[in-house]
Structure 1
Amino acid sequence: MTEWTLSGFGDEIDEDPAVQLSVLLALGASHLEFRSAWGVNVADMSDEDVTRLSALLDRHGVRVSAIASPIGKTGVYDDAPTELARLERVVAVARRLEARYVRLFSFYRPDGVAVEATRDTVLTRLGAFAKVAERESVVLVHENEKAIYGDTPERVLDIVESVGSPALRVAWDNANFVQVGVRPFTDGFAALRPYIEYLQVKDARAADGVEVPAGQGDGELRETLTALRDSGWTGFASLEPHLHDPARPDVLSGPRRFGEAARAFAGLATELGVRLT
């Protein structure tokens, strides 16, 4: 049977990492995708906070699948040395928490600037990031966030092939593709499959862009997961549902709706003969 490793964005559940880890374990996840704890983003955490988090992870027996960094979720023409220094810090945290992957993005552009005009700057900056990753033996996974350079399959492919580094791969997000008018599996899967290293589990409706549990939207999740299974892909499937519980406006999903998302994905996996560990 095909096995994938289940992870999740703990801060969608609660700001307290002890709650994050307890809920993830109850849902069958063995890993955490770490973005923030105690309301502090990973890029801003002190060494003391990282040590405190590491002790919690050890106590719960949970490992870190990836660092969900904010790197590249900034303006394409913003200060490059500052963002490179932030990446260095995030990579140091990844090494401390024994995480192989670091998520990043490919920059927003100013209003009125054509996406094509930013290409050279994007590739130069991501190339510098990849050199850091190669040196530190981590893998950067680019997420196709809407409104950045790499928000369509064609431009994601351009990024990974033009930078040409084994330390820069793809974090696939079906919902984000839907939200920019792309049919994820139909329009992008075949071209990007050789570079898909990490799966963000999220779905959305094409009509209004609203996120829904996996398999209940237009993200072609069933087709994508089937093709990943059939092609022999094994890796991390990380829950990032963005389901929004009005009772928990302080976090993106909250425990109840995060659990709903986990059960929906588990149901899809069972249908497809994939075991989540």
Structure 2
Amino acid sequence: MRLSVISDQISLHEEEAFRAIQKEGYKEVELHDVFGHSIEECTPDEVKRLKTLLDQYGLRVSNLASTIFFLCPLYPGDQVSLFDPTFYSIEGDIKRHLQYLKNACQIAKELDCPTIRIFPFRWPDNRKGPFGTKKDLDQICQNISKALEIAKQEDRILVLENCPYSHLPKGQMTLEVVRRLKDPHLQLLWDPANSYRAIRENVPQIYQGWSLEQELEALYPYIGHIHLKDYHYDVGFPKPFHHKALGDGDIQYDALLSKLREKGYAQSLSLEPEVELDLTLLSMRRLKEFYR
């Protein structure tokens, strides 16, 4: 396994982030928010600048954390919005997102990055769950099939993230898409913490039974990338899931990471802690200690 961290979790200034990542002994970085926008929006000049900085600090890009299919309505009439105004995301319909995917593929080639994150479509503001129904899965697969045509032409791998703000918040649900489409250019971006914090009312009953350990066992053959963050659940707050430094929350990462090591996981473990800088650095050091 290889260690990585999303650069904007450290600093919104690219060079400052890369310098800190190098200082912590990490060799890989994941890119989402760069130059004040999402990575798939980068111009050729911005890509050249990134490449210069990456070479300067001896870093490899583990994944392009694009926002393709996030703020993209799954059905006509769906209204979608950001859960957090500081999360940079492209907008528009399927056609527009596919255009951005073409640009993301070119960026990935320039930065020698094999994988590009995509989302299973933001759940709408104007409809109530549960989401991830058979009808939803049919529509999601139809749209991702169009994205796969581009990925195959460009020889890039799409990694589908289970996201709590999407139609498919649990890994068990994104697994359905990969199994249906059966294409080597589509793998999973597994985020166990996202599965943990999925809103139960949004998830069909059939997907509410697996533990994170069960998810890992089932998803493992299809995993191309992993995000790590931690939460503590406190029912006493209106928003009960609280971000914590890796190892300080409820998720039993010792067991999950040990299982990944036993299985010989060779892809990236990429931190997305979503906490203050000091706790992000603490998370980086804890993950490094485990690695050692």
- Contact kept in structure 1, 2:245 and 2:273, CA below 8 Å: yes
1:112 and 2:128 are equivalent in the alignment: yes
Q: Give the conservation status (yes or no) of the 8 Å contact 2:171–2:191.
A: no
Contact 1:178 1:206 survives alignment (8 Å): no
Runs of at least 5 residues in structure 1 that lack an aligned partner in the other structure: 246-253
- Greater shift, 168-177 or 204-213, is seen at 204-213
Q: 1:81 aligns with which of 86, 91, 95?
A: 95
Distance in 2, matches of 1:28 and 1:193, equals 27
Larger RCO of the pair (alpha carbons < 8 Å, separation 6+): 1
For residues 118-267 of structure 1, the aligned pairs below 5 Å read 118-180=136-198, 184-207=211-234, 208-243=240-275, 245=276, 254=277, 256-267=278-289
User: 1:219 is aligned with what amino acid?
Assistant: I
1:210-251 residue CA offsets vs partner (Å, 9 max, x unmatched): 1212222222212211111111111111111101x3xxxxxx
* Residues 236 and 46 of structure 1: CA distance in aligned 2, closer, same or farther (over 3 Å): same
Q: Report what 1:251 is aligned to.
A: none
Question: Pairwise CA RMSD of aligned residues?
Answer: 1.8
- CA-CA distance at 1:61 after TM superposition: 1.5
TM-score (norm 2): 0.83
Structure 2 gaps, min length 5? 76-91, 201-207, 235-239
Partners of 2:271 and 2:172 lie apart in 1 by 25
- Secondary structure, in 3 states, of the residue corresponding to 2:68? coil
TM-score by length of 1: 0.87
Conserved 8 A contact 1:197-1:235? yes
Distance (whole Å) between structure 2 residues aligned to residue 27 and residue 43 of structure 1: 27
What is the CA-CA distance between 1:203 and the residue it aligns to?
Answer: 1.4
Residue 15 (structure 1) aligns with: 12
Q: Residues 213 and 264 of structure 1 are in contact (CA less than 8 Å); yes or no, is this contact kept in structure 2?
A: no
Task: Count matched residues.
Answer: 257
Match for 1:60: what amino acid? Y
